[in-house]
Amino acid sequence: MCGIIAVTGEGASVEILTTGLRRLEYRGYDSAGVVVQTRSDGFARYRAAGGTKSLVALEEEAGRYHGEIISGIGHTRWATHGGPTLFNAHPHFDCLEEIAIVHNGILENFRELKEDLLAVGHVFSSETDTEVIAHLIEAQLPFSRNLAAAVAIVAKRMRGAMAFVVASAGEPGVLVGFKRMAPMVIGTDGKSWFLASDIPAILDRASTFYHIDDEHIVILKPSGAVMCDLDLHEVPLESFSVDWTLESAERSGFDDFMSKEIFEQPGALRDTLAGRMTPDGSLVLDEQPADPDLWARINKVFIVACGTSYHAGMVAKYAIEHWTKIPVELDISSEFRYRDPVVDERTLVVAVSQSGETLDTLAALHEARNLGAQTLAVCNVVGSSMARLADAVLYTRAGPEVGVAATKTHTSQIGALMMLALQLAKVKGQLYPQEVQELYRQLLSLPNKMSEVLELWEEMRALALRYGGRSRFYFIGRHVGYPVALEGALKLKEISYLPAEGYPAGELKHGAIAMLDADAVVFALATRTRLYEKVMSNIEEVRARSSSIVVLGNPGDESVVNADESFVAVPQVHPLFAPIVDVIPLQMFAYHVARGLGNDVDRPRNLAKTVTVE
């Protein structure tokens, strides 16, 4: 949902901005732009619009700039207000082109604010909500001490979740950022200071990183950074460390990030699991809850998440209920706070999110806290908003995930949630510490099984060739196979744009079976999990409708398919852990189909990796 980068100081350059934008491109690529500022010559703006080609054009254009810059701001856009055109591309200016802004998020009350500005003669050159902020600051600046003071006043008038950075022609080298429920971090190498929507954008530049609190502004100068509340009271900066390497944020010889991240899954899960269980079967969290007795009090778990993270949460529900006998509710984050969830201080609300910034999940976490629940964030980005908000944190240690379609973070999330299930089971006396240890040992063996599954790469390419031209795909499974079916369908939809549906296999006969014909392809999740035999019966129902069948099963079960059907063999593991290995062939199938169609798998159309709008 738009990427922001900004730099000020000795080392500031156009290249820092465009390299940062390249690493933020997964947040949107409708257009790209930069504004650079010299000490004496004011602003120079470069913008390009044209989907995934925007940044290439920008790099060429802005790369020709040879002035000695002191600071700059850059943006890659995922359009919300106004189409993906050049005149809507950020950075935006005020009337006099003396305020430049890049913005991520939505200014919800932009209409009324814009009307006020139009009434007093402001002239707009885009359809964006962002430009309204530039004009608001322009109007406020003559009555304020400086840019920071003007931004603080304007921020109080704005509604909606957002982060933005502004520069003023009158204050060369000064950048002012504002953050409200949208990601933005500060980084420095000692010579330059950076603001960025995400860490990878500045991973090769900054050695120290600082959090920015919501409802705060940051003032960056070549000499340093200061954070203030909206009454301009200074608040100390809190640093955090990042152990991601630059290599982990690069393609490293792979054709794209998605294939790299598929292949990184065994390592990502291994890192997520390593050293997490004490000998007595207690889970080692990254942030412990203030109250150590919290776990014993929990009598209900509520999982909130979106998309692929939601599917990981679904798998967790089966495991937590099986091992702990604690009821688990599951909600799509955007639904959670608009109903009346039954949550109290004995409920553990678990927010599952790769980014830790997804606005719907962040808002659900806020709501859970307001309702008095205990909260746990399971996320991948250290220091993300959810990690900072929740009472306790369990990080997946999957490294940066750049491909828009989540893969390695999904399997790592399931691994992390399995450990949570074991922890709860131990505390509730439902499993002995030795049983927890034995299950943890089985979890630790999964990365090797995943490596075996990765050997199916060519086989899945062949299946994609065989079936990729079909018009409709169904993924069916039962019990933990059901979330895998949903995830298989989601992966295929989001990168191939083909109609795909995930279905509980037993539910097919209640309606969707009417869709089956010879053009449909049905993937059946039929590894040896709890309802194996029932899935077999469901496959018979499909067979009778002459659709093509691909069965995902365990070695030894090859005979369940007929000669004209396909069988994909994945290693057998503990039934509750099966989604971690079973989902991988489906990721690979989606990948190969999308590549076969010539699609950009890392940057699928209409999508952005971190969804920071409601």
Q: Which residues bind ligand F6R (CB under 6 A)?
A: 306-309, 353-355, 358, 361, 405-406, 490, 494, 610-611
Closer CB to ligand F6R, residue 18 or residue 353? 353
- CA-only gyration radius of the chain, Å: 25
Q: Which two tokens stand for residue 350?
A: 């678990």
Q: Closest separation between CB of residue 385 and ligand F6R, Å?
A: 11
Place of tokens 């129902």: 541
Smallest Cα–Cα separation from 395: which of 412, 411, 407, 408?
412
Of 37 and 385, nearer to ligand F6R (C-beta) is 385
Q: Are 324 and 425 in contact (CB under 8 A)?
A: yes
Minimum Å gap between C-beta 261 and ligand F6R is 11
Q: Is the peptide bond before 571 cis (omega within 30 degrees of 0)?
A: no
* Token code pair at residue 498: 């083909």
**Which distant-in-sequence residues (6+ apart) come within 8 Å of 126 by Cβ?**
82, 87, 88, 92
Q: How far apart are CA 293 and CA 333, in angstroms?
A: 27
Handedness of CA 413, 414, 417, 418 (dihedral sign): negative
* C-alpha–C-alpha distance, residues 548 and 551, integer Å: 10
**CA–CA separation, 588 vs 595, rounded Å?**
10
Nearer to ligand F6R, 46 or 310 (CB): 310
- Retrieve residue 317's tokens: 């529900």
The CA distance from 363 to 333, in Å, is 8
Q: How far is the CB of 311 from ligand F6R (least distance, A)?
A: 8
- Going by C-beta distance under 8 Å and a sequence separation of 6 or more, which residues neighbour residue 60? none
* Cβ distance to ligand F6R smaller for residue 138 or 487: 487
In the complex, the smallest distance separating the C-beta of residue 308 from ligand F6R, rounded to whole angstroms, is 3
The single-letter DSSP state of residue 548 is E
Please state the closest distance from residue 381 (CB atom) to ligand F6R, in A: 8
Between 307 and 415, CB nearer to ligand F6R: 307
Q: How many other C-beta atoms lie within 10 A of the C-beta of residue 605?
A: 13
Residue number with CB closer to ligand F6R (390 or 490): 490
CB of 152 to ligand F6R, least distance (A): 30
Q: How far apart are CA 551 and CA 463, in angstroms?
A: 12
Q: Which is nearer to ligand F6R, 328 or 495 (CB)?
A: 495
Least distance in angstroms from the C-beta of 305 to ligand F6R: 6
Q: Could you tell me which residues come within 8 angstroms of residue 64 by beta carbon, excluding any fewer than 6 positions away?
A: none
For 590, counting Cβ atoms within 10 Å of its Cβ (0-12 exposed, 13-18 middle, 19+ buried), the class is buried
Helix axes 265-273, 433-444, angle to 10 degrees: 160
CB of 397 to ligand F6R, least distance (A): 15
DSSP secondary structure of 567-611: EEE-----GGGHHHHHHHHHHHHHHHHHHHTT--SSS-TT--SS-
Residue tagged active-site, from 114, 408, 426, 609 = 609
Cα separation, 308 vs 340, in Å, equals 24
Nearer to ligand F6R by C-beta: 148 or 381? Answer: 381
CB of 526 to ligand F6R, least distance (A): 24
Q: Taking CB positions, which residue lies at the least distance from ligand F6R?
A: 307
Choice among 2, 228, 306, 379 that is catalytic: 2
Spatial distance between the Cα atoms of 283 and 270, rounded to a whole number of angstroms:
15
Active site residue 260: no
Known active-site residue 306: no
**176-185: buried (b, 16+ CB within 10 Å) or exposed (e) per residue?**
bbbbbbbbbb
Least distance to ligand F6R from the beta carbon of 379, Å?
7
Nearer to ligand F6R, 192 or 355 (CB): 355
**Residue 128 or 358 having the CB closest to ligand F6R:** 358
| Cα dihedral value 515, 517, 521, 524, nearest 10 | 70
Q: What are phi and psi of 195, to 5 degrees?
A: -125, 140
Contact 33, 5 (CB under 8 A): no
HEC secondary structure over 285-307: CCECCCCCCHHHHCCEEEEEECH
Closer residue to ligand F6R (CB): 80 or 308: 308
74-86 in b/e burial notation, b at 16+ Cβ within 10 A? bbbbbbbbbebee
Shortest Cβ distance from residue 406 to ligand F6R (Å)? 3
**Six-digit token pair at 42?**
């004011």
For residue 96 the two structure tokens come to 């006099």
Residues identified as active-site: 2, 609
